[in-house]
Amino acid sequence: MSFRQLAFKNVMRNKRTYAAYFLSSAFSVAVFFLYAMFIFHPGVTEGVTKEMAKKGMTAAEYIIYVFSFFFVLYSVSAFLKSRKREFGIFIMHGMSKRQLNTMIFLENMIIGFSAIITGILVGMLLGKLYLMVGSYVIGMEKPLSFLVPWEALALTIAAFTVLFLVISFFTSFFVRTNKLLDLFQSTSKPKPEPKTSIILSLLAAGLLIGGYYLAWTANMYNIGYRFFIVILMTIVGTYFFYTQLSVFLLKMFKKNKRFYWNHTRLITISDLAYRMKDNARMFFMVTIVSTVAFCAIGTLSAMGGSKKLFDERAQIPVVYQSSDQNPNEKAQVQAIRDDFNKNDLSYNEIKVTLIEQTGKETNKKVELISLSDYNAMAIAAREKPLKLKENEGHYVSTVTYNTFLDEKMKPITLSESNLTFNVAKIIDAPYFSSGMIGYDLYVIPNELYKQIKNPTSTTHYYGFVTKDWVETKDIGLSLYNGEDGIYTGNYTSDPAFYFSSAGYDYNMMMEMYRTALFVALLVGCVFFIAAGSFLYFRLYTDLDYDKRQYQMIAKVGLTKSELNKIITPQLVLLFFVPILVAFVHSVFAFKALQGLFEFSVVKETAVVLLGFGAVQVVYFLFIRFRYLKHIKKAIM
């Protein structure tokens, strides 16, 4: 038998243990290949959303590749440790260290090339569907045709071949063969009593509680500097939670004799302490990887709820604003009216005038609107009209958060007109965006407004009100488009006018959101499947040891129902403790992120977490069935 045949037979003999690792690797290759197909597809031409999709998928390629490297490195090194007894037999029959390394290298490359081929084939099978969905997400009129760019194929094969070659080369040296006896006793040595430190256990609790507190009390003003502190505290706290605190708590339970010395709990809890200690690093990685997946997908899903925010701020969905120096104002306004008529959208038009003056106290420009003009806009936007006293003004806030609002309450004296008014109140007017208003805006009484002299500039504001604001995405596109538009070049190149369409902005935001979610969803699935692979691997590498253990217990009268009572709680804790901790991490992360959004993320967050939880339950039931089947077969 040649070395290649031996390596192949070894892989096939251990296929049950390698299954989850192989499938996870193949899935990573498939996702990487799908992203590459989209990036190199000739049909993906220039455009804001398309360019963002390309950049997002390119970033995802790097993330998947780096993650795959560490995932494969950890998995392979763990597999080798579980096969020490097998390697001892080969060495006892005359296999040299070099031959053993060659065999391990070939085994890894067999699995690696199989994963690459399988991943590419799966990618090709799903390619048509992926390109169709991707075309819809980025707003293409026609779906991308099915095409496998040679660049995508070459990049995927080359990238993962290098990955598996490098890891196979280095991991073949991980197996230490100095003492043959150690290889044979690797699975039969009695495990030492798990040791814990009270100080490190308290540190774990303190770091997690402290991190949760900082995340829960975060707002948009302090989340910037708290962000990395919370992440560091959570990561370190999670590591010590599994290596110290969890084992410490299990030891505390063991001291409670009434609880511990109760039928099958004796076996369940004593075995759990060893499992928690042995699998601490694996649980840590599963928790962190799952948390990243939950947060990424949950945050992007929550952004889908931003339509409520647009509903609140789209009372006047289409806004055109022009300076008095703009010679094309009439033509541009008429173009907007024509767009409404072409799209069969009914609308009401409002026109108001803003006057610019200089504040004597600050020597800064301010903009002024009369009470009657402001109330006309308020009524059109279904808001209550204002009432002002003589020489009284209201400051119009165009942003939700402003730490300098108190300064706006001081009296204003207009230098050009020598008029003074008191600022009685700060009001929120969402139909005035910060992009429209270049300076501080104040509403003043009509009588005071008429007395203004020598305005430094005058601005005409046109508001177009329609119920179907989402349909306004095509209104005013001629102002954006240089070839068909009134101006040459992008609208931002000429400061003479400002145009805003809530429908257009919402449509662009949703396309970008869908693109980001589309990219993040597959990356999140890669992370989640890898987390499941870690759990599967640890369970099945311990299967032979568990069989021997339960065979001995069965000799003293262990029944099948008692076996279920022992194994099920252990599997529940092993499968769901990392996911539950990841859920808790994610909840506090979402609470911190809530401070950055002006809309609730609770519903979308709950849906994402429940979705992942449901998948984990199905996975648990499947593995539990298979695991119990193997154990029962061994003890019968």
Q: DSSP letter string over 280-339?
A: HHHHHHHHHHHHHHHHHHHHHHHGGGGHHHHHHH-SS-EEEEEETT-TTHHHHHHHHHHH
- pLDDT above 90: residue 21: no
Give mean pLDDT, residues 335-347. Answer: 89
455 vs 588, higher pLDDT: 588
Q: Exposed, middle or buried by CB within 10 Å (0-12, 13-18, 19+), for 178?
A: exposed
Contact between 157 and 120 (Cβ < 8 Å): yes
Confidence of residue 489 (pLDDT cuts 50, 70, 90): very low
CA atoms of 292 and 286, how far apart (whole Å): 10
Contact between 152 and 62 (Cβ < 8 Å): no
Residues contacting residue 572 through CB under 8 Å, at least 6 positions apart: 620
Residue with tokens 């490190």: 200
pLDDT at 170: 76
46 vs 114, higher pLDDT: 114
- pLDDT above 80: residue 244: yes
- CB count within 10 Å of CB 235 equals 16
pLDDT at 161: 92
Calculate what percentage of the chain has a pLDDT beyond 90: 8
CA atoms of 123 and 155, how far apart (whole Å): 14
Confidence of residue 382 (pLDDT cuts 50, 70, 90): confident
pLDDT at 490: 38
Give mean pLDDT, residues 583-592. Answer: 86
Q: Which of 383-387, 482-486, 610-614 has the lowest mean pLDDT?
A: 482-486
- pLDDT above 60: residue 486: no
Instruction: Show the tokens assigned to 436.
Output: 């429209």
Burial code (b: 16+ CB inside 10 Å, e: under 16) for 21-37 equals bbbbbbbbbbbbbbbbb
Instruction: Show the tokens assigned to 131.
Output: 């390109």
Q: Exposed, middle or buried by CB within 10 Å (0-12, 13-18, 19+), for 283?
A: buried
CA atoms of 335 and 487, how far apart (whole Å): 12
Give mean pLDDT, residues 579-596. Answer: 83
Residues contacting residue 375 through CB under 8 Å, at least 6 positions apart: 385, 386
Q: Return the axis-axis angle of helices 97-137 and 48-82, rounded to nearest 10°.
A: 150
- pLDDT above 80: residue 118: yes
Strand (E) or helix (H) holding 367: strand 364-370
pLDDT at 282: 78
Give mean pLDDT, residues 68-81. Answer: 76
pLDDT at 485: 38
- pLDDT above 90: residue 210: yes
CA atoms of 579 and 288, how far apart (whole Å): 9
- CB count within 10 Å of CB 627 equals 19
Residues contacting residue 626 through CB under 8 Å, at least 6 positions apart: none
pLDDT at 27: 84
CA atoms of 191 and 183, how far apart (whole Å): 15
pTM of the prediction?
A: 0.67
Please name every residue paired with 427 in a beta bridge, in sequence order, or none if there are none. 396
Give mean pLDDT, residues 408-416. Answer: 81
pLDDT at 154: 92
Main-chain dihedrals φ then ψ at residue 84, nearest 5 degrees? -60, -40
- pLDDT above 60: residue 400: no
Query: Residue length, the chain?
Result: 636
CA atoms of 581 and 597, how far apart (whole Å): 25
CA atoms of 181 and 136, how far apart (whole Å): 61
Q: Exposed, middle or buried by CB within 10 Å (0-12, 13-18, 19+), for 498?
A: buried
pLDDT tens across 531-542, in order?
A: 777 777 777 767
pLDDT at 405: 56
- pLDDT above 50: residue 553: yes
- pLDDT above 60: residue 183: no
CA atoms of 75 and 302, how far apart (whole Å): 34
pLDDT at 586: 87
Confidence of residue 487 (pLDDT cuts 50, 70, 90): very low
Give mean pLDDT, residues 360-369. Answer: 85
- pLDDT above 90: residue 453: no
Confidence of residue 162 (pLDDT cuts 50, 70, 90): very high
CA atoms of 352 and 76, how far apart (whole Å): 70
User: What are the CA-CA distances from residue 132 to residues 43, 136, 378, 441, 446 (Å)?
Assistant: 12, 6, 44, 47, 57
CA atoms of 237 and 241, how far apart (whole Å): 6
Q: DSSP letter string over 205-247?
A: HHHHHHHHHHHHT--TTTHHHHHHHHHHHHHHHHHHIIIIIHH
Residue with tokens 């993330």: 63
Amino acid at site 318: V
Main-chain dihedrals φ then ψ at residue 41, nearest 5 degrees? -65, 130
Give mean pLDDT, residues 354-373. Answer: 87
- pLDDT above 70: residue 189: no
CA atoms of 141 and 508, how far apart (whole Å): 15
pLDDT at 206: 93
Amino acid at site 410: K
Q: Name which of 489, 485, 634 is nearest 567 in CA terms.
A: 634
DSSP conformational letter for 461 = E
pLDDT tens across 265-309, in order?
A: 666 666 666 667 677 877 888 888 888 877 777 776 666 656 666
Confidence of residue 236 (pLDDT cuts 50, 70, 90): very high
Task: Report the greatest alpha carbon distance in the chain.
Answer: 106
- Sign of torsion, CA 237 238 244 248? positive
Amino acid at site 476: G
pLDDT tens across 556-569, in order?
A: 776 777 777 777 87
- Mean pLDDT across the chain: 78
Q: Exposed, middle or buried by CB within 10 Å (0-12, 13-18, 19+), for 104?
A: buried
193 vs 12, higher pLDDT: 12
CA atoms of 93 and 509, how far apart (whole Å): 66
CA atoms of 246 and 381, how far apart (whole Å): 57
DSSP conformational letter for 406 = G
DSSP conformational letter for 474 = G
